[in-house]
Chain A
């Protein structure tokens, strides 16, 4: 177990390194921070309420657009460049490869969020915000974003074309995002099921300061499913 963890860590480092050395990741990080920064400033200047709820929601919405870009190359590029062969012949299981790449993306996401910690600090300087809802809010945002990344990774494993991978993951994310709205209008049990599938629905409670175990489980399950599917997709190619 220890050895395989080390392998995953090594791969994760390599992949994270790729992020931090690619200019594209910086461009998107800058865009993300620009948009969230703008929303934050406008919010505190107009409403003047000391809270992070709306801004945390905005972050996730913006990340919905960024996540496909961050993940689209993860699998597809290896395949296009032919480096997949190298990876495949390395003494790593398919799952270890998938996990390593996923964790690298999560590290990038968490560091990106760390840059937004400036906002609650600003609130702290000028007022007295309630700390715990901000922390639980960030937990929810990390979980939701990680789910986006797992989905993006899966989409990336389906094709060797980065752009297609990006479009596919964005479309899937969008559907899973708005499915709750469809649920709202459908009503009844069908509506309830659709709402429960929605990525946005499970995010509501975190920024309030509530941790609902079923929400945490939902995101972890969604991550597990997509990582599993990615592993399957990788295995299929490995031996076909």
Chain B
């Protein structure tokens, strides 16, 4: 500016005017930044660059006027007034600007044990790619560390995405909201976190978030796992279609499975009925195909279509077969493709059954991703009227089966359906027997070809029908199967964080001593030393 070649007077004027221009420009830019912040909150660089320019202008002003600012302390001031005001505003303005700039950048040091508040890369990516608004509603029971964990974690999510709108609700204070959610999704409201986007809703059960840890007083908090999965479920582009096959006297979605249907919806799925004979093929959007207890056999073409869907097109099956006298060769053939065979029996278990009803099994869980949470939470499943299954000695190439539910040693598979009183006879199958299997499939025979879940087969459909779905472990058994089939465990490779639930164990004596120390001794000593000092000063 000093090099301006104009007449002397002009140069001086510009030089004199420059600080004023800078200050004026700075404040204008600050104003613009503020307006941009309100109008375009989604485009942070807009208001941030305006703020940066404003800060630069004001800093330049402060530099040019440094003599004035420096002499401020020494200046004898009557003409001070306006200048002082401008300078004060400028200083505060600069400080505010710096704060606004920094507030955008997240510079956080998480110093907790095991980085409790650091989100995994996967979650960060999911949040960064969110393309729709999410409404998160947490019904907080309040006042325990678990509640605190959930709130803290949800806060971390909310901090990282402007699309994440979090509401924490005390169900006792707003019962109407709680009631509204109760009507939407089955299961308990208290402690649940609901993720919503448009029509989709997904409930995260607090029981799913806490697992037993390695030691007695430690608990694993799998909140991030649960929440990120919920976001993926709610914010995905296509609906997760679960087709229920009909046309063979299966349990119907509108009838016996109405309860299960709402559980599925609460888990982010869209259940539909499918009549394969009419449609001719399984729709391309089918993520899962469920066969809920067919009483009649499949058509040969149906069987082939289902086989292609499951083994060639990456589909996933849930097959539930009820005991019956009729032979169903096509279904048996399908099972054979999955490496399994179903026995013509009905299981009786004097040891593990529900209230002395031999045929209402409460089977043992074998360890598996599907059963793990049920084992952890100690939730039994009730399977009334089930038949036994077995893995084939030589399963088809690529197929592996793992048993899920097992009856006791003293159980048997009753093969005589006409006997009036059930008892273990020579023709019956001896226990223990399997009631459910998980089937995985390895496509291709290369060493690196991937193993994927392909089917869950259960020897009964009645456990999810009617009221049985509300039995403690039943809905979870089905939903866990769907989750395992959907590969969501792999999708969410976020490790749960171990958290020790530290508690004080105080005997009444210690408690009293602590109270005495903190409430009487420490304040008393402070007061006493004050008195001593005061007395000494007075007597001096």
Contact = CB atoms under 8 A, between A and B. Distances in A.
Interface of A: 20-21, 23, 25-27, 29-31, 33-34, 36-38, 40-41, 44-45, 47-51, 53, 93-95, 115, 118-119, 122-123, 126-130, 132-133, 136, 189, 196, 204-205, 208-214, 217-218, 221, 224-225, 228-229, 232, 235-236, 239-240
B517 A26 contact: no
Given A33-B526, A95-B73, A212 B108 contact: yes
B514 interface: yes
B174 interface: no
A44 B111 contact: no
B527 interface: yes
Contacts of A209: 110-112, 116-117
B450 interface: no
B92 interface: yes
A205 B111 CA distance: 11
- Across chains A and B, which 6 residue pairs bring their CB atoms closest together, nearest first? A26-B530, A37-B518, A213-B107, A209-B112, A50-B502, A34-B523
B518 A49 contact: no
9 contacts: A23-B533, A38-B519, A48-B503, A53-B148, A118-B518, A126-B504, A132-B112, A204-B155, A212-B108
B410 interface: no
A114 to B, nearest CB: 11
Contacts of A218: 99
B103 interface: yes
A126 B84 CA distance: 57
Contacts of B506: 44-45, 48, 126
Interface in B469-501: 500
Given A93-B73, A129-B502, A224 B95 contact: yes
Contacts of A208: 112, 116-117, 152
Nearest to A131: B113
B interface, by DSSP: helix, strand, loop or mixed?
A: helix
B117 to A, nearest CB: 6
A94 B95 contact: no
A210 B109 contact: yes
A46 B114 CA distance: 28
Nearest to B503: A48
A211 B118 CA distance: 12
Contacts of B88: 228-229, 232
A75 to B, nearest CB: 17
B530 A27 contact: yes
Contacts of B519: 34, 37-38, 41
Given A31-B523, A221-B98, 11 more contacts: A20-B533, A26-B533, A26-B534, A41-B519, A50-B504, A93-B73, A129-B502, A132-B112, A213-B109, A221-B95, A239-B80
Nearest to A135: B111
B537 interface: yes
Given A37-B518, A232-B84, A127 B504 contact: yes
A127 to B, nearest CB: 5
B20 interface: no
B526 A225 contact: no
Contacts of A240: 77
B531 interface: yes
Given A33-B526, A45-B515, A239 B77 contact: yes
B504 A228 contact: no
Contacts of B72: 235
A168 B77 CA distance: 27
Interface of B: 37-38, 41, 72-73, 75-77, 80, 84, 88, 91-92, 95-96, 98-99, 102-103, 105-113, 116-117, 143, 145, 148, 152, 155, 500, 502-506, 510-511, 514-515, 517-519, 522-524, 526-527, 529-531, 533-534, 537
Contacts of A213: 102, 105, 107-109
A103 B205 CA distance: 51
B532 to A, nearest CB: 9
B41 A217 contact: no
A33 B522 contact: yes
A232 B484 CA distance: 67
A210 B112 contact: yes
Nearest to B103: A214
Nearest to A20: B533
A211 B511 contact: no
A47 B73 CA distance: 55
A51 B502 CA distance: 8
A217 B102 contact: yes
B99 A214 contact: yes
B117 A30 contact: no
Contacts of A51: 145, 502
A202 to B, nearest CB: 10
Contacts of B96: 221
Nearest to B143: A47
Nearest to A240: B77
A196 B92 contact: no
Contacts of A115: 522, 526
A211 B518 contact: no
Contact of A45 (B112, B143, B511, B534): B511
Contacts of B152: 208
A25 B534 CA distance: 11
Nearest to A231: B73
Nearest to B538: A23
A30 B92 CA distance: 36
A132 B504 contact: no
A100 B416 CA distance: 97
B527 A126 contact: no
B504 A44 contact: yes
A27 B92 CA distance: 36
Contacts of B105: 213-214
Contacts of B103: 196, 214
Contacts of A119: 518
B502 A44 contact: no
B514 A210 contact: no
A189 B503 contact: no
